[in-house]
Amino acid sequence: MGKRKTIFRQVDQLFSMSRRFGESKVKIKNQGKLAGALVGAKTYDDYRAACMRWAEDLAERRGTNKFRICDVKPDEVRNFLERVALTHRPETVHQYTAALQKLEHMVNARFGKVNWKIKEFKKPRRSREDVTVQRGPAYTPEEADRLIKRMAEIDPRAADALKFIRATGCRAESIFGRQVKRGQKVVINGRVIKEASVTRDYTKAVTADRIDLKNGTVTLCEKGGKWRTVKYDRKYQDLMEKLVRESKGGRIFTGLKQPTMYRRIKTICSKEGFEGRGLHGMRKTFAVKRYEEYTERVNNLIKKKDWRTLAKEFSITNQKAQSMCKRPYKETVDKVARLKLTRDLGHNRVEVTYRYVPRGSSLS
């Protein structure tokens, strides 16, 4: 009998074997292997971290880290998720649940048959009204203008980056690339013996060839390796033309340092008398403005009884559009506007928009 592997080694090995970055989901699905595969780098990192925390908890409770993952019982998985639900937000519980469900598929595909009955676990639900506003509210137009103006006096290219986020609603990784940590910090007797190496993956950083000046769109690659095309604010057409012209087809914001830019934002906001909310505050400013534009557009189309255009522009059925024109309920208008905003922000769930645009939010 060979040496028994630790639970950590088994989890690590499963994730390594399941990594399918850059491959077509359709192709993997046709092969019948999508359930046990991971195609997104961000999802890979998040799920692996969650499963490793589960493994650590399980090893501590069993008093040993050397046991077969196929021997793990459904009760041990459910007990862990129940304890997570007691101390964490519902979104975190959902992520742990999804990560362990993916791990279950990996085990079944490569190590042996298990049934952890994760689907029977009742995940906590959260009303839209209770969704936490993360990292503070959006910058008001006046705050955003002042921040950009002061930043331009220090670093014009950093100011252009703030304008770009305000125009497109992109994430920080579209500006700086994605930070990648390799290895782990090693501390012995309070002394750091080894630091984790940190590099930048620039594949997600926006390039000039992703800006369509004619159609007024930018193609972004962000969270989970997902691609999305968003219409930018035409108010910033001159900025987009300048960025394309000066970058000569390459990465637009090369050379900008994320820590430096965040530090400057904090200093400027403090001097100007309002709270700094980093780059995410500018993304929220985009979201609030875009939501107001969509709401106004929906109401105008309803007023004109133009259900065909409403259905086309907001990706709803003809029946739904006709019903809205007959009975324009405020809640329905709100939901339709948020559905379109969800796609602009690169999210999958409309509930997430309430973090960016809480009910009653307005730029005016």
Whether residue 131 has pLDDT greater than 60? no
Length of the chain (residues): 364
Burial class of residue 319 (count of CB atoms within 10 Å of its CB; 0-12, 13-18, 19+): exposed
Whether residue 74 has pLDDT greater than 90? yes
Structure-block tokens of residue 250: 């390459």
Which CATH number does 141-177+204-280 carry? Answer: 1.10.443.10
Judge whether 165 and 282 are in contact, CB under 8 Å: yes
Q: What are 258-282's pLDDT values in tens digits?
A: 999 999 999 999 999 999 999 999 9
pLDDT of residue 297: 97
Comparing C-alpha atoms, which of 119, 4, 97, 7 is closest to residue 58? 7
DSSP characters for 190-203? TEEEEPPEEEEEGG
Give whole-number Cα distances, 273 to 146, 338, 343, 357, in Å.
Answer: 10, 31, 33, 23
Which CATH number does 7-125 carry? Answer: 1.10.150
Q: What are 326-360's pLDDT values in tens digits?
A: 998 999 999 999 999 999 998 888 888 998 999 87
The residues of the chain that CATH labels 1.10.150 are: 7-125
Task: Compute the average pLDDT of residues 286-292.
Answer: 97
Structure-block tokens of residue 115: 């049934």
Comparing C-alpha atoms, which of 171, 149, 146, 145 is closest to residue 284? 171
Judge whether 50 and 100 are in contact, CB under 8 Å: yes
292 vs 29, more confident? 292
pLDDT of residue 106: 95
Whether residue 364 has pLDDT greater than 70? no
The residues of the chain that CATH labels 1.10.443.10 are: 141-177+204-280
Judge whether 77 and 19 are in contact, CB under 8 Å: no
- Find all residues with CB under 8 Å of 331, minimum gap 6, and list them: none
pLDDT of residue 129: 47
Comparing C-alpha atoms, which of 288, 289, 296, 331 is closest to residue 313? 296
pLDDT of residue 178: 82
pLDDT of residue 187: 53
Judge whether 208 and 219 are in contact, CB under 8 Å: no
187 vs 211, more confident? 211
Task: Compute the average pLDDT of residues 16-37.
Answer: 87
Q: What are 136-195's pLDDT values in tens digits?
A: 889 999 999 999 999 999 999 999 999 999 999 999 999 998 877 666 655 555 566 666
